[in-house]
Amino acid sequence: MSATGSDLVTTDIDRAVARLDAGGVVAIPTETVYGLAALADRPDAIRRMYAIKGRPTDHPSIVHVADVDHVHEWAVLPDGRATILATACWPGPLTLLLARGPRVADEVTGGRPTVGIRVPAHPMTNALLRRLDGAVAAPSANRFGQVSPTTAAHVVADLGDLLDPERDAILDGGPCPVGIESTIIDCTVAPPQVLRPGGIPTEDVERLLDGALAPAAGPVRAAGMLASHYAPRCRVHLATDRAAADATQQRIGAAGRAVGVLDRTDDLVAATRHLYADLRDADRRGLDDLVVVLPPPAGLGHALRDRLTKAAADRPG
Ligand code: TXA
Ligand code: MG
């Protein structure tokens, strides 16, 4: 397998469809982050996708379908709140947790009675999904626990050596415009719960539902809810404002460590779009430490604070 990944990367949707149909694994562009896709009713392909990602097999993955009319084989979309959200937000960065349908492989849900499902908004992946007589299960296309990819080059860097150019592919759809994962809403409980803040602000979801959402409760159900996740190699420190960040930078720098500051609080759309590239860039620059200014907890600020808090959390080992 090549170090450049050039034999994996393609813009040819026909090739991507053929690889999936043959049971291969294909990295797909979405509006949020790149996903690592396998057919959602092919246990062998799903198991291999999990092995490439290094992800525990009991961890569920999101099923991606072409449009709302394709949901029924994979999940039960009840009238009412779930349908309101699906109609208003799809295609887009919202995942609904629903009761699972008959066609979804156990390997996708980790044996749960529920399935996370969404219609992504990326023209290439939508064309691919329309061409498949099925759906794909796709977690983010990074090694488990590490920083999510928002370009095909990120996927090559993370997984290029683990994918097989004869069986797999990386579909290059350019940089992901949203840049952070979908918002996940559990619609199997009342009131619905936010399992993960993401690309659609929870305030927008509450407005659509005319009512408040509950925070996630019960056992940890989403990988993003583990304490440490989305973590670059360098240590991430959080600051409440720029002055505090500069003071922390000075203190760490005085100890002889290479330290940078990341402050995009003036534009949260850009902060979200560039978050993962910024974290990767800190590693590329050889920083030991990165001090990040947290945005306020509103709109996209919820998702940014969630990812940054997890990137800064103590890691096992
Ligand atoms: O934007 C996104 O959601 C991206 C793109 C590729 O679609 N996907 C993504 O997948 O972020 P992943 O696997 O990295 O994160 C999905 C999260 C995990 O935390 C998983 O535990 C949770 O969704 N999840 C999926 N199905 C679930 C289920 N049935 N019950 C509880 N949590 C579930
Ligand atoms: Mg992920």
What does the pLDDT look like over 121-152, one tens digit per residue?
A: 999 999 999 999 899 999 999 999 899 999 99
Q: Which of 25, 36, 49, 61 to mutate to test the pocket of ligand 1 (most atoms within 8 A of CB)?
A: 61
pLDDT at 214: 87
Tell me the per-residue pLDDT of 98-126, one tens digit each, with 9 for 90 and over. 999 999 999 999 999 999 999 999 999 99
Average pLDDT over residues 197-204: 97
Q: Of ligand 1's atoms, which has the minimum distance to the CA of residue 93?
A: 1
Question: pTM for this one?
Answer: 0.96
What is the percent of the chain with per-residue pLDDT over 90, rounded to a whole number?
88
Residues whose beta carbon lies within 6 Å of some atom of ligand 1? 30, 32-33, 35, 59-62, 93, 95, 97, 109, 112, 114-116, 120, 138-140, 181-182, 184, 195, 221-224
Strands (E), 51-156: 62-64, 75-76, 94-100, 114-118, 136-137
**Is pLDDT at 35 greater than 70 in this prediction?**
yes
**What's the number of CA atoms in the CB half-sphere (13 Å) around residue 201?**
13
pLDDT band at 226 (very low <50, low <70, confident <90, very high): low
Report the pLDDT value the prediction gives residue 229, as an integer from 0 to 100.
Answer: 82
CA of 292 to the centre of ligand 2 (A): 21
pLDDT of residue 317: 55
> Smallest Cα–Cα separation from 265: which of 292, 290, 283, 244?
292
> Which residues 6+ apart lie within 8 Å of 237 measured at CB?
248, 252, 289, 290, 291, 292, 312
What pLDDT is attached to residue 45?
98
Q: Which atom of ligand 1 is nearest to the CA of 64?
A: 7
pLDDT of residue 1: 45
Q: Ligand 1 test: best mutation among 50, 140, 185, 226, most atoms within 8 Å of CB?
A: 140
Nearest CA to ligand 1 atom 32: 222
Atom of ligand 1 nearest to the CA of 118: 7
Question: Which phi-psi region, left, alpha or beta, contains residue 155 (left: φ > 0; alpha: ψ -120 to 50)?
Answer: alpha
How close is the Cα of 140 to the center of ligand 2, in Å? 4
pLDDT value for 212: 80
